[in-house]
C-alpha cells in the first residue's frame, strides 16, 4: 500500500492537488510540418524506454503517425486548484506538441491517439512544480509574451534560459527561444467556431488529417484531450538511476467553450539555435540554421475556454 501524501498546504506549498482549474484560457495554436522519423527517434529516446515492464516486455509503445507538430501559446486569466483552496494566479504556457498512437501490448482495444509535449514552458512556479511532480511534465520557467502586451506587437514569444554550447565555460542566456511572427495579413474575416465540438473537429482535422476521426469521435462523447508524460525522479547517490519512473495519463477536460476560429493570416515559427534545446534536430531531423531557423506555419487557430487538468492515472510504472 502506498503511503498517504504529506501535504505542505499552509507551509508554503507549491505543489497543489488536482484537479487544476483554469478559467478564461485563450490558446493560440500553430501547426507546422515536421519529420516523422526524427520525432520517432525522439520518442524512442525519451518516452518508449519507460514503456517496458521490469521483466523486459514492452507494456506500452508510442508511435508517431504523421510528420506534423504544433506549438501553442496559452494565456490564462485564473489558475487554481479545485481541491486545495489557496487562491488563484494568472498564468501563461507555451508548449510543442507531437501526436502519438499509444499501443498496448496486451489489449489492442486500448489503442488511442494522444498528445505529448517534449518541450513545455510556464511563467509561474506553482504551475511548474505541480505539473512536474504530479504528472511529470518537463515544465521550465519562462517569460511568455502574446500580442497586446505591447502596442503594435503581433508576435508570440517564449524566453527562457538556454545554453548556446554545452561546456563548463558556457554561461547560460536568458533570451527568446521560440517566436511566432506574422508574415502576411489577410483582410477577409475569419469564420467563428460556434461550439467546442466544431473547434475540436477543425483543429484536429487540420493537425492530424486522416487519423483525426478516432480522436474527434472520442471528444464528441467526452470532452477530454488525452495527453501523456514521462514522470521520473533521480535516485539520491546514483544520478544515472531513476528511483521512480512512470508514463502518466494527464487528461484535460474542457468545461466551457467561449469562442474560437481559424487565423487566416500567414505565420512562421522561429527557433533560436542552441545546444541545450535541439528542437530543430528533434522535430525536423536536420542541422538548424545559424542563429535561428524559420519554419512556415501551415495551420493557425485560437480557442477561448475553461478547462481542468484532471488527476489522470499511471499507464505503466517501473519498480
pLDDT at 222: 55
- What string of pLDDT tens digits covers the 319 residues of the chain? 789 999 999 999 999 999 999 999 999 999 999 999 999 999 999 999 999 876 667 799 999 999 999 999 999 999 999 999 899 999 999 999 999 999 998 888 888 889 999 999 999 999 999 999 999 999 999 999 999 888 777 899 999 999 999 999 999 999 999 999 999 998 888 889 888 778 877 877 777 765 555 555 555 555 678 899 999 999 999 989 999 999 999 999 999 999 999 999 999 999 999 999 999 999 999 999 999 999 999 999 999 999 999 999 999 998 6
Question: Rounded distance, CA 251 to CA 173, Å?
Answer: 33
Note whether residue 181 is domain-resident: yes
The 3-state DSSP class for residue 203 equals helix
pLDDT at 194: 86
Note whether residue 1 is domain-resident: no
Nearest to 251 by CA among 296, 314, 179, 199: 314
Q: 190: domain range?
A: 20-313
Note whether residue 2 is domain-resident: no
Note whether residue 209 is domain-resident: yes
The 3-state DSSP class for residue 133 equals helix
Number of domains in the chain: 1
Grid cell of 68 as nine digits: 506534423
Note whether residue 10 is domain-resident: no
Question: Rounded distance, CA 89 to CA 126, Å?
Answer: 9
pLDDT at 108: 84
Q: What is the distance in angstroms between the CA of the first residue and the CA of the last residue of the chain?
A: 14
**What pTM did the predictor assign?**
0.93
pLDDT at 266: 95
The 3-state DSSP class for residue 101 equals strand
Note whether residue 6 is domain-resident: no
Whether the CB-CB separation of 307 and 200 falls below 8 Å is answered with no
Question: Rounded distance, CA 188 to CA 46, Å?
Answer: 43
Whether the CB-CB separation of 306 and 22 falls below 8 Å is answered with yes
147: which residues sit within 8 A by CB, 6+ positions away? 153, 154, 155, 156
CATH number for the domain spanning 198: value is 2.40.400.10
Note whether residue 207 is domain-resident: yes
Note whether residue 13 is domain-resident: no
Nearest to 208 by CA among 303, 112, 288: 112
Question: Rounded distance, CA 234 to CA 106, Å?
Answer: 29
pLDDT at 129: 96
Whether the CB-CB separation of 267 and 30 falls below 8 Å is answered with yes
Question: Rounded distance, CA 58 to CA 201, Å?
Answer: 32
Amino acid at each position: 500500500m502506498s503511503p498517504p501524501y504529506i501535504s505542505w498546504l499552509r507551509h508554503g506549498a507549491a505543489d497543489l492537488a488536482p484537479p487544476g482549474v483554469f478559467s478564461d484560457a485563450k490558446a493560440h495554436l500553430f501547426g507546422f510540418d515536421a519529420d516523422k522519423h526524427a520525432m520517432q527517434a525522439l520518442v524512442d529516446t525519451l518516452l518508449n524506454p519507460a514503456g517496458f515492464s521490469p521483466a523486459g516486455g514492452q507494456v506500452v509503445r508510442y508511435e508517431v503517425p504523421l510528420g506534423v507538430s504544433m506549438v501553442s501559446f496559452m494565456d490564462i486569466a485564473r489558475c487554481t486548484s479545485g481541491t486545495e483552496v489557496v487562491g488563484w494566479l494568472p498564468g501563461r504556457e507555451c508548449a510543442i506538441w507531437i501526436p502519438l498512437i499509444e499501443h498496448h501490448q496486451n489489449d489492442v482495444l486500448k489503442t488511442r491517439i494522444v498528445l505529448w509535449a517534449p518541450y513545455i514552458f510556464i511563467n509561474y512556479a506553482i504551475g511548474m512544480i505541480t505539473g512536474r511532480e504530479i504528472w511529470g511534465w518537463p515544465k521550465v520557467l519562462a517569460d511568455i509574451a502574446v500580442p497586446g502586451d505591447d502596442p503594435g506587437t503581433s508576435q508570440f514569444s517564449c524566453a527562457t534560459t538556454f545554453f548556446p554550447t554545452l561546456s563548463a565555460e558556457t554561461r547560460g542566456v536568458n533570451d527568446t527561444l521560440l517566436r511566432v511572427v506574422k508574415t502576411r495579413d489577410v483582410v477577409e474575416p475569419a469564420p467563428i467556431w460556434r461550439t467546442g465540438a466544431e473547434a475540436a473537429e477543425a483543429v484536429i482535422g487540420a493537425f492530424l488529417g486522416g487519423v483525426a476521426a478516432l480522436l474527434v469521435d472520442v471528444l464528441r462523447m467526452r470532452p477530454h484531450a488525452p495527453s501523456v508524460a514521462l514522470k521520473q525522479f533521480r535516485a539520491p547517490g546514483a544520478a544515472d538511476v531513476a528511483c521512480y519512473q512512470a508514463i502518466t495519463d494527464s487528461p484535460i477536460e474542457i468545461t466551457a467553450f467561449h469562442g474560437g476560429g481559424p487565423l487566416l493570416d500567414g505565420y512562421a515559427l522561429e527557433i533560436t539555435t542552441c545546444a541545450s534545446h535541439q528542437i530543430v534536430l528533434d522535430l525536423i531531423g536536420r542541422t538548424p540554421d545559424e542563429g535561428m531557423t524559420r519554419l512556415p506555419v501551415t495551420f493557425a487557430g485560437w480557442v477561448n475556454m475553461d478547462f481542468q487538468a484532471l488527476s489522470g492515472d499511471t499507464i505503466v510504472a517501473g519498480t
